[in-house]
Amino acid sequence: MKISKLGAPVALIAAAALTLSACAANEPADPGTGTSGTAASSTLAGKGASSMSAAQQKWIADYQSAHSGVTINYSPDGSGAGREAFTSGAVQYAGSDRPFQDEEMGAGKFAGCTAESNALDLPVYISPIAVIFNVEGVDELKLDADTVAGIFAGTITKWNDEAIVATNPDAKLPDAAITAVHRSDDSGTTNNFTDYLHQAAPSVWSEEASDTFPAAFGGEAAKGTSAVVDAVSTGTNTIGYADASAAREVSHAQLQVGDEWLQPTAEAAAKVVDASETISGRSEHDLALTLNRKAEGAYPAVLVSYALVCEAYKDSATAELVKSFIGYVASAEGQQAAAEAAGSAPLSADMQAKVAAAVASIK
């Protein structure tokens, strides 16, 4: 009696669960293209920098739409995780906010590559890092390198500090404390930003560039780009740094380079890469760069992310897929797509050609 009464709702739930056959309006019904991809050749796994995750999503979406049957998974788990996964052969390509260092390179060190193959560092993603702020009544802020370094090092603590007033004579700067927000997690953004501070204001910013923000300098820590942007935009009298593309709704400060005041624009960012030299002593097609942050007209706080691939893959089908996908990523249309979707700075035509040549050399 009781069971039969109870049976009705239970059966209803069971029926509801059964009718939910797994499909979504935007996913192909063919199970072969799901994440449970059957053939290894049609699935590519990538892992790495979260900074280019929006761009990767766009590239993957475009590439998958053009090549049905191919599934690419990019997990934005961080550069370090990406490099390790690539070295151990767990993924076929990695995204990284810095190239492999010399001691990490070496033929035969990479499980997914052939024994005599080294890795290739290919710059594919350039993003300006904006200094973002939220101060009541202030829309425009001009900061020189020493001031930026002082603010984030905790030596400049008030918005009406002389150093800030000096470069912003017209702004109504409040007599309020500065809350400087930085990343709590390891990130390439922090690495590139502290590298800029160390290069441009070594007297104030004594610490070398590093993935973790130096604990000695204090300030407020927030996890991930979005938390930094959130903390700055919802807080009051705050300042922080984040990829410019992820911080569109917050005001960006202008940074001083030489006599110029530069906004974090794509063009100004791309100039850094053009003015930079490749690291010497590597193979012909390796494009690891030493960034030159003092070039004229170049926005100095720039993040360059690399695609890490093998010179030669053990599996030829994987090699073909990597060539095809990374080739698209570095192409003019791929770079343009990322610029629209992720707000990155497209590689210059010259750099595109170099990357294309490197991709063509993958075996």
Partner 1 sequence: MSTATTTRNADPLTAGQLPGYTTWVALAGSLLVAGMIDASLLGGFDPGTTAFLGAVIFLPVAYLVARVVQGRRAAADRLATNLVTGAFLLALLPLLSLLWETLSQGLPRFDVTLFTWSMRNVIGDGGGAAHALYGTLYVTGIATLISVPIGLMTAIYLVEYGRGALARGITFFVDVMTGIPSIVAGLFAYALMAIVFGPGTINGFAGSLALSVLMIPIVVRATEELLRIVPNELREASYALGVPKWRTITSVVLPTAVSGIVSGVILSIARIIGETAPLMIAAGFTNSINTNPFANPMMTLPVFVYDQYAHPGVDRIFYNERAWAGALTLIVLVMVLNLLGRFIANRFSPKTGR
Partner 2 sequence: MATVTQSTQEVTPSPSPERPGGPGRPLRRLGDRVFSGLSTGSGVAILVILAAVAGFLLMQAFPALTTSPEVLQAQGYGPFLSWILPFAWGTVWASFWALLMAVPVSIGIALFISHYAPRRLAAGLGYVIDLLAAVPSVVFGLWGSIVLAPAVQPLYLWLNTYLGWIPFFAGQPSGTGRTLLTAAIVLAVMILPIITSLSREVFLQTPMLHEEAALALGATRWEMITMAVLPFARAGIISAVMLGLGRALGETMAVAMVLSGAAVVHFQILTSQNPNTIAAVIAQNFPEAYGLKTNQLIAGGLVLFVITLLVNAGARLIISRYKEFSGAN
Residues 234 to 253 in contact with partner 1, rule: CB under 8 A:
245-246, 248-249
19 contacts partner 1 (rule: CB under 8 A): no
- Which residue's CB is nearer to partner 2, number 81 or number 330? 81
Q: Given candidates 32, 224, 235, 327, which one binds partner 1 under the rule CB under 8 A?
A: 224
Q: Given candidates 121, 195, 211, 243, which one binds partner 2 under the rule CB under 8 A?
A: 211
Please, are residues 308 and 119 in contact by the beta-carbon 8 Å criterion?
yes
**Least separation, in Å, of the C-beta of 80 and partner 2?**
6
> How many other CB atoms are found less than 10 A from the CB of residue 151?
24
Cα(351)–Cα(248) distance, rounded to whole angstroms? 27
How far does the chain reach from its first CA to its final CA, in angstroms? 71
**Least separation, in Å, of the C-beta of 219 and partner 2?**
6
Q: State the pairing for strand pair 93-96/43-48.
A: parallel
Rg of the chain over CA atoms, in angstroms? 24
Please, are residues 70 and 321 in contact by the beta-carbon 8 Å criterion?
yes
128 contacts partner 2 (rule: CB under 8 A): no
- Which residue's CB is nearer to partner 1, number 32 or number 218? 32
Token pair listed for 125: 């993603």
> Which one of partner 2, partner 1, none is in contact with 234 (Cβ closer than 5 to 8 A by kind)?
partner 2
Cα(255)–Cα(262) distance, rounded to whole angstroms? 5
Cα(80)–Cα(19) distance, rounded to whole angstroms? 42
Q: State the pairing for strand pair 119-134/71-75.
A: unpaired
What is the distance of C-alpha 37 from the center of its chain?
27
> Which one of partner 1, partner 2, none is in contact with 5 (Cβ closer than 5 to 8 A by kind)?
partner 1
184 contacts partner 2 (rule: CB under 8 A): yes
Amino acid, single-letter form, for residue 266: A
> Which one of partner 1, partner 2, none is in contact with 73 (Cβ closer than 5 to 8 A by kind)?
partner 1
- Which residue's CB is nearer to partner 2, number 98 or number 282? 98
> How many other CB atoms are found less than 10 A from the CB of residue 85?
21
- Which residue's CB is nearer to partner 2, number 33 or number 56? 56
Q: Where are the beta strands (DSSP E) in 144-259?
A: 179-183, 220-222, 238-243, 251-252, 254-257
219 contacts partner 2 (rule: CB under 8 A): yes
Backbone angles phi, psi at 326, to 5 degrees: -65, -35
> Which one of partner 2, partner 1, none is in contact with 179 (Cβ closer than 5 to 8 A by kind)?
partner 2
Give the per-residue contact string, 24-63, with partner 1 (x = CB under 8 A; - = no): xxxx---x--xxx-------------x--xx--xx-xx--
Give the per-residue contact string, 25-44, with partner 2 (x = CB under 8 A; - = no): --------------------
Residue 52 backbone class (left: φ over 0; alpha: ψ -120 to 50; beta: rest): alpha
Please, are residues 142 and 256 in contact by the beta-carbon 8 Å criterion?
yes
Residues that bind partner 2 (CB under 8 A): 50, 77-78, 80-81, 84-85, 157, 176-181, 184-186, 211-212, 215, 218-223, 227, 230-232, 234-238
Residues that bind partner 1 (CB under 8 A): 2-3, 5-6, 9-10, 17, 20, 22-27, 31, 34-36, 50, 53-54, 57-58, 60-61, 64-65, 71, 73, 75-76, 85, 90, 223-224, 226-227, 229, 245-246, 248-249, 341-343
